[in-house]
Amino acid sequence: MANVFENRVIRPVRIVTGQLTFDGLLNISLGARTLDELNLTARAFLTLSSPHLVSGAWELNEAPLIINKASVLFVLEIPEIGATLGRGEDDPELRRFARAAVRLRVRDHAVEGYVHTGPGGSALTRLNQSAHPFIALQSATVAGPGMDLSTPFLAVNRTHILSAQELFSVNAVPEEVAAGSGNVES
């Protein structure tokens, strides 16, 4: 859960690199999103306060930790530092958005989730748009070494995606149509 402090948002995140996984608090500008911070090209490193080593071997103390963005495979927003994450049964609330389900191979991890595509867009085309190094997936699942989980938000570093497939796509449904699509009783 994010906390607001003096025009900044402090968000607990899990950062997965090729050999190490860290939890910590990511400091984000007020009004920005985790994805915005990851795609900010003015900074090559992410700063984590209260870092915690989740997996891998490295001596870590309580001082803030910086992680090179180029080494990051993906980032998850988590409820709290050290949270145990697993697969959930939540149904994604994605009716209002044009989206595509994708399957990605990110090093040794299998990742599936929804990419927002825009009207008439393609997820694979979105992956080729290199203006930003990270791409967001909603309602994602991750399976790989030491990890089998689902998360509402996942940011994947495009440079570590080995392969991708679009599973299916859904056109956007206007909110008014989605709200009125049920049976009406008189």
Could you read off the pLDDT of 112-166 as tens digits, one per residue?
999 877 666 667 777 777 778 999 999 999 999 999 999 999 999 999 999 998 8
Is this model's pTM higher than 0.85 or not? Answer: no
Which among 67, 64, 89, 68 is positioned nearest to 139, based on CA atoms?
Answer: 89
What's the residue count for the chain?
Answer: 186
Q: List the one residue out of 128, 147, 129, 169 whose CA is nearest residue 17.
A: 147
Closest C-alpha among 118, 124, 122 to residue 161: 124
Q: What is the pLDDT of residue 2?
A: 58
Which class is domain 3-77?
A: mainly beta
pLDDT score for 28: 85
Q: What residue has token string 């990605």?
A: 104
Give the Cα separation of 16 and 18 in Å (integer): 7
- For the chain, the domains span 3-77, 99-176
Structure tokens that stand for 167 in this block: 């599973």
Do the domains 3-77 and 99-176 sit in the same CATH topology, yes or no?
Answer: yes
pLDDT for res 124 = 73
Q: Are 23 and 82 in contact (CB under 8 A)?
A: yes
Contacts 24+ apart (CB under 8 A), 29-34: 30/4, 34/75, 34/77, 34/153, 34/155
Domain 99-176 fold is SH3 type barrels. (2.30.30)
23 pLDDT exceeds 90? yes
What pLDDT, on the 0 to 100 scale, is given for residue 97? 61
Beta bridge partners of 116: 99
